[in-house]
Amino acid sequence: MIKKILIIFIITLSACSEENNIEKDDDGLVRVTFATDWKAQAEQGGFYQALASGLYEEKGLNVEIIQGNSNVNVPRLIASNSVEFGIGSNSFIPLNMVENNIPGKAIMAVFQKDPQIIMTHSDSSIENIKDMIGLPIMISDASIGAFWLWLKSKYGFEDSQIRKKTFSLAPFLSNKSSIQQGYLTSEPYLVEKEIGQKPKVFLLSDYGYPSYGAMVISSNKIIENNPDIVRRFVEASIEGWEQYIYGDPSLGNELILSVNNEMREDILLQAIKKIRYYELISDEISKGNNIGQMTNKQWEDFFKIMSENGVYKTDLNWQESFTLEFIGKEN
């Protein structure tokens, strides 16, 4: 049955076809596997909506979604042909793939603005990102090689400010002067539920952070050999996101809740509202008609900032990190 979700750790993925052969099930649907970067949540909701509502099936695809975890390495899964598609959480991921000669690239971007935030307590005197320079900030290990590089290059943040972010909100809640990274659609709501006060939220994209978020990446092999499958996956995913944010998300939410017993419906619903309110995937004029878009300009701007600050060599072939072939949008 197409609505089959497996929670599988990376070690179990060796059972997938090493050659990335295209297989069909008994109903003639093409089997493809999609690896996410975290457990099922609203930030992946459009994909679950597409699966639950049969959009992938209508495109002739039998899609299996594999939930991520803290140890998952989606580019490695792409490189080993263990999966056909996966989520790249930010623009560094595809560029790092090019830098490390991993044959894959971004084929669509769900979030036009990366939902990464830094938050403080509501009574904090901090009013701007610049006010955080020199202060301790709790961030994850993964973020040290991502948006932290941008904060260092643009605002002069230093590594001495880094404090390790755990999966618990307790360190933040227990210290009124604490500063912590988070996701716009997650941590602020959890903090408010816990202490009854909204934290101050600083959305990095509002300060110029040019990264995309939640991109779909795929191997060059399937892009070159089976572009029609890639196109069908992208089209169904975009339609799933349009339904999830601008229509009825109940099917997607039901599926998310069934595979992630740590998730709650109220968390999902508030996240959907924020995705729409902050126009993370589309603006209120388009209302989903431009979901998935990427542009040469935004990729070039991102690479230029990072290469000028030593993150990447200036001669890196950054154009190989993405393709606009399957979204048909460039401006």
The string of DSSP letters for 82-121 reads S-SEEEEEETHHHHHHHHTT-SEEEEEEEESS--EEEEE-
- From 182, 207, 232, the end of a domain falls on 207
Q: Which CATH number is 71's domain given?
A: 3.40.190.10
Indicate whether 36 and 181 sit together in one domain: no
In this prediction, residue 328 carries a pLDDT of 66
In this prediction, residue 10 carries a pLDDT of 37
In this prediction, residue 50 carries a pLDDT of 98
Residue 286 located in a structural domain: yes
H or E stretch at 77: helix 74-79
Number of domains comprising the chain: 2
CA nearest 281: which of 52, 43, 94? Answer: 43
Indicate whether 158 and 27 sit together in one domain: no
H or E stretch at 18: none
β pairing state of 179-183 and 104-111: unpaired
Plot region of 113 (φ>0 → left; ψ -120 to 50 → alpha; else → beta): beta
Indicate whether 97 and 122 sit together in one domain: no
Distance in angstroms (rounded) separating the CA atoms of residues 198 and 21: 49
Show pLDDT as tens, one digit a residue, over the chain (331 residues).
444 444 433 334 433 433 346 788 888 999 999 999 999 999 999 999 999 999 999 999 999 999 998 788 999 999 998 999 999 999 999 999 999 999 999 999 999 999 999 999 999 999 999 999 999 999 988 888 889 988 998 899 999 999 999 888 999 999 999 999 999 999 999 999 999 999 999 999 999 999 999 999 999 999 999 999 999 999 999 999 999 999 999 999 999 999 999 999 999 999 999 999 999 999 888 888 889 999 999 999 999 988 988 889 999 999 999 999 999 654 4
Residue 327 located in a structural domain: no
Contact, 273 vs 186, CB < 8 A? Answer: no
| Number of residues in the chain | 331
Residue 330 located in a structural domain: no
Indicate whether 83 and 151 sit together in one domain: no
Indicate whether 80 and 216 sit together in one domain: yes
β pairing state of 61-66 and 5-6: parallel
In this prediction, residue 21 carries a pLDDT of 63
Indicate whether 131 and 258 sit together in one domain: no
pTM over 0.85: yes
Domain housing 180: 116-207
Indicate whether 218 and 105 sit together in one domain: yes
Q: How many CB atoms sit inside 10 A of residue 221's CB?
A: 15
Indicate whether 241 and 256 sit together in one domain: yes
In this prediction, residue 153 carries a pLDDT of 84
Residue 331 located in a structural domain: no
Distance in angstroms (rounded) separating the CA atoms of residues 169 and 90: 23
Indicate whether 193 and 215 sit together in one domain: no
Indicate whether 241 and 152 sit together in one domain: no
Q: Which residues of 266-298 are buried (b: 16+ CB within 10 A; e: fewer)?
A: ebbebbbebbbebebbbeeeeebeebbbbbeeb
Half-sphere exposure of 230 (CA within 13 A, CB side): 26
Residue 78 located in a structural domain: yes
In this prediction, residue 287 carries a pLDDT of 83
Residue 31 located in a structural domain: yes
